[in-house]
Amino acid sequence: MTPIATEHVIINGHRIAHGIYGEGTPVVLVHGTPSASIIWRKLVPVLCAAGFKVHVFDLLGFGESERPWSQAVDTSISGQVPILCALLDHWGLGATHLVAHDIGGGVAQRFGIFHRERLLSLAMIDVVSFDSYPSSRTRQQIAEGLDKLIEAPDATHRSHFRDWLATASAHPDAFEESGALDAYLDYIAGPVGQASLFQHQIRHYDPRHTLEIADRLGELGALPVKLIWGAEDAGRSPTGRIGCRRPSPIPTSASSKAPATSRSRTGRNPSPTCWWISFWRGATPPRARACCRAS
């Protein structure tokens, strides 16, 4: 699978892979874990056709971007915020629409709190918030110690995380047949990827990055905010979902459930794009179903 972040720039001393597509109104897409900007590969052409200039990048320590050797380099949610700021400067964007997924949503929340003047709007799909992450399965693995996984032979590591990635998809067979599963796995396996997964991603699965700003989320109400949750995504506790809290932490936000969508399907299913486009153009956003299931 061909990367879509094919250009490179040095940001704060580290190489960041990025890409720009189309012409028109700027929008920046922020991916999550354990993926990269390739998760947006089906959405980019749709957005370009709708008149947007699409900016993608791989977070530091992810995808095609540098995997820093030193553990002192901060690749956490908080550490990615200044990189996003510098990328906007590099791209010549004073303000932009921002779409974020998974932990990219944590980056977006912090960015919106501390740099709100640089946002035109914020759309968050299946994002981390409050203490909704890591998942119970990942918490258990961390509690049991990651040493065995870190030191596992490549074949064992790949097998373990192939199964782990497949369970994040509503349709694992199609996920694998598309080549996306192998592409994701290649980024987190092998002599660089395996160590990088733990150093740059898993060891930073810490909800303090979102909890620190939880009581300030209301400040994002000054922006148009859209919260989207995949109908088939069971990856996070409903009580931790930013769009499911009542009263809403962002009172002016619009929350919707996107049908037939799960976390790892964001890259294959461009249907949520129509929600974003209508949202950005000021149309009434689809609200066919509430974000949370009745229980």
Q: Cα Rg for the chain, rounded, in angstroms?
A: 18
Q: Quick one: pLDDT at residue 271?
A: 52
Reduce the secondary structure of the chain to three states and give it as a string: CCCCCCEEEEECCEEEEEEEECCCEEEEEECCCCCCHHHHCCHHHHHHHCCEEEEEECCCCCCCCCCCCCCCCCCCHHHHHHHHHHHHHHHCCCCEEEEEEEHHHHHHHHHHHHCHHHEEEEEEEEECCCCCCCCHHHHHHHHHCCHHHHCCCHHHHHHHHHHHHHCCCCCHHHHHHCCHHHHHHHHCCHHHHHHHHHHHHHHHCCCHHHHCCHHHHHHHHHCCEEEEEECCCCCCCHHHCCCCCCCCCCCCCEEEEECCCCHHHCCCCCCHHHHHHHHHCCCCCCCCCCCCCCC
Nearest to 71 by CA among 198, 222, 256: 198
Q: Quick one: pLDDT at residue 281?
A: 58
7-133+206-280, which class in CATH?
alpha beta
Q: Quick one: pLDDT at residue 294?
A: 25
Q: Quick one: pLDDT at residue 122?
A: 94
Q: Residue ranges of the chain with pLDDT lower than 50?
A: 238-239, 262, 264-266, 268, 270, 283-295
Q: Quick one: pLDDT at residue 62?
A: 98
Q: Which residues contact 180 (CB under 8 A, 6 or more apart)?
A: 1, 38, 264, 267, 268
Quote the pTM value: 0.89
Q: Quick one: pLDDT at residue 184?
A: 94
Q: Domain spans of the chain?
A: 7-133+206-280
Q: Quick one: pLDDT at residue 232?
A: 63
Q: Quick one: pLDDT at residue 295?
A: 24
